[in-house]
Amino acid sequence: MPAFARDARTAAYYDQRAGEYDEWYLGQGRYAELNPPWWHEEVSRLVDLVRALPPARTLDVACGTGFLTQHLRGAIVGLDQSAAMLGVAGERVPTGSVVVGDALRLPVADGAFDRVLTGHFYGHLPADERAVFLAEVRRVAAGLIVIDTALRPGVEPAQWTDRVLNDGSRHRIYKRYLTSDQLAAEIGGQILLAGRSFVAAAVTWDHHRKDG
């Protein structure tokens, strides 16, 4: 059965990738040729979406290098299992905080946040891990925003992909590609973005919301 959030080899891959992760977002290195022609426009749309979110207490789960986290407003906590990723993220969100943690067992109190944001994490989770993650999010936050990779023509919706790092090492990673409708339906929310490269959806629950 596929695993992602609790797979030790996957964790090692992302720790190793921390120093070059943003090359994907920026279309640099090998991604200068691999990313589609509209990539930079799509990344700008994604950044604009995050920047336009109202200020709130936000837990960014699997925040990685903080590429998106840095555009959030309000009280921000970035969580990732990779200390190397957080080393980069911490420099980008100096007014927030970062913490090493398990996305399937969030180290925060019930109802501690207004929302959870997660980018390019949900789409890696197999069904059992997705169920655990969504239950944890509902425990700790009043809402959820999921950003992930769009399903494109000719791409298998769920697959094992071979990732190659700049040092030539190869890593096998589980990945799903989602339509905006599918993502919104899975989390029980509404579409925020239906792009060619990225999709996003949001859901809000009114229970255990705190004032403050």
pLDDT tens digit string along 34-70? 999 999 999 999 999 999 999 999 999 999 999 999 9
Q: Which of 13, 2, 25 is nearest to 198 (CA)?
A: 25
Q: How far apart are CA 66 and CA 54, in angstroms?
A: 18
Contact predicate 128/3, CB 8 Å: no
pTM of the model: 0.95
pLDDT of residue 201: 98
pLDDT of residue 199: 98
Q: What is the CA radius of gyration of the chain?
A: 16
Banded model confidence at residue 207, pLDDT cuts 50, 70, 90: low
pLDDT at 81 over 90: yes
Contact predicate 193/45, CB 8 Å: yes
Which residues, 6+ apart, have CB-to-CB distance to 175 below 8 Å? 123, 124, 149, 158, 159, 160, 161
Contact predicate 35/17, CB 8 Å: no
pLDDT at 114 over 80: yes
For 67-96, the three-class secondary structure string (H helix, E strand, C coil) is CCHHHCCCCEEEEECCHHHHHHHHHHCCCC
Mean predicted confidence (pLDDT) in 96-109: 97
pLDDT tens digit string along 171-186? 999 999 999 999 999 9
pLDDT tens digit string along 119-146? 999 999 999 999 999 999 999 999 999 9
